[in-house]
Structure 1
Amino acid sequence: MMWKTIAGATALSLMVVGTAHASQAPNLYERANADGSFKAFVTEVNAAGLSDALKGAGEWTIFAPTDEAFAALPNGTVERLLEPENKDELVILLKNNIIPGKSFVSQWANGKVATQTKTGNAIEIDGATANQFTVDDAQIVRKNIPAANGMIHALDGVLVPPES
């Protein structure tokens, strides 16, 4: 009888420790910051004042452009966006790379899905071609990077919102 009690207590302790460990998973901001492929994205998130939003409650899927994607923008674009007077434009650009909910690429396999970004702009996610997934004109180059409050998919392009 004593062994059953000890075994039960041990199992309960392992469940509690496992739950505590799971709740310490990095949030979207921490995951992007630690990744190393998203230095420009994180710099822009900080400049736009969006870091707290990516650390907070609510689940989001981020189509995070890699550093190479930002480097491929026309010369001077990133520097211009980081200027304080262009903060509103930067916020819109970044929010155009975010959709609500935590989405795995498997949800888009074998088809095309239209969805709206955090700015309200429509984007199309295409998973109809084998293992190649695209979001508008950008390709997902790394899939399903999990965070406590969402999911990150690395893009080889920046989802630039349409001009108003």
Structure 2
Amino acid sequence: MKRRFFLSLSAAALTLSACATMTKEPDIVDIAAGNSDFSTLVAAVSAAGLVDTLKSDGPFTVFAPTNAAFAALPAGTVDTLLMPETKDQLVKVLTYHVVPGAVTSDQLAGQRLSVATVQGQNVHVNGTHGVKVNDATVTSADIIASNGVIHVIDKVLLPK
């Protein structure tokens, strides 16, 4: 009787543990990986070795270019950036899309800001008519992740 009770208690604990793991909110990488519009971005983040960073606690704000944004770059740019010998350049480009802290669109509304990126340079954010980051337009805002927020943009931001 005691053994059966212990076994059923153990099984219940494992079930609760599994449920707790499954109900964890998705992080920035999980959300991007779950959206086919970000497959190029996900491949780039992986090639740059930034997956663990973007899965960490953060919080981060990511201005996430779509596949179409990457496709609009000059021919061969993405292939070149994904090569192992240009990893440093890829890291610079990707971290130029990340701002420390979780910044939502309501915090940007009506503002004109110069914001430091994780890469070290500033992006110019104009929230007076929608939201623009440099010359990219935010097409979908405030995708909330467990470790920050994602804003979808229509162009790849290139550091100077």
TM-score normalised to structure 1 length: 0.83
Secondary structure of 1:124's partner? Answer: strand
Aligned to 1:56: 56
Instruction: Report the count of equivalent residues.
Output: 141
Runs of 4+ in 1 over 4 A off after TM superposition: 20-23
Question: Are 1:27 and 2:27 counterparts?
Answer: yes
- Report the Cα distance in structure 2 between the residues aligned to 1:59 and 1:46, rounded to whole angstroms: 19
Secondary structure of 1:57's partner? Answer: coil
* Residue identity matched to 2:31: R
- Report the Cα distance in structure 2 between the residues aligned to 1:21 and 1:106, rounded to whole angstroms: 31
* Residue identity matched to 2:76: G
* Residue identity matched to 1:42: V
User: Does the 8 A contact of 1:23 with 1:148 survive in 2?
Assistant: no
Secondary structure of 2:26's partner? Answer: coil
- Report the Cα distance in structure 2 between the residues aligned to 1:23 and 1:59, rounded to whole angstroms: 19
CA RMSD of aligned residues (A): 1.4
Aligned to 1:122: 122
- Report the Cα distance in structure 2 between the residues aligned to 1:149 and 1:23, rounded to whole angstroms: 15
Shift of the alpha carbon at 1:121? 0.5
User: Does the 8 A contact of 1:28 with 1:151 survive in 2?
Assistant: yes
Aligned residue runs from structure 1 range 1-164, under 5 A: 24-129=24-129, 132-162=130-160
Shift of the alpha carbon at 1:33? 0.6
- Report the Cα distance in structure 1 between the residues aligned to 2:27 and 2:86, rounded to whole angstroms: 27
Shift of the alpha carbon at 1:88? 0.5
- Report the Cα distance in structure 1 between the residues aligned to 2:86 and 2:29, rounded to whole angstroms: 22
Secondary structure of 1:144's partner? Answer: strand
Aligned to 1:7: none
Shift of the alpha carbon at 1:111? 1.9
- Report the Cα distance in structure 2 between the residues aligned to 1:54 and 1:155, rounded to whole angstroms: 18
Gaps of 5+ in 1: 1-19
Higher mean Cα deviation, 111-120 or 22-31? Answer: 22-31
Q: Percent same amino acid among aligned pairs?
A: 41
* Residue identity matched to 2:118: K
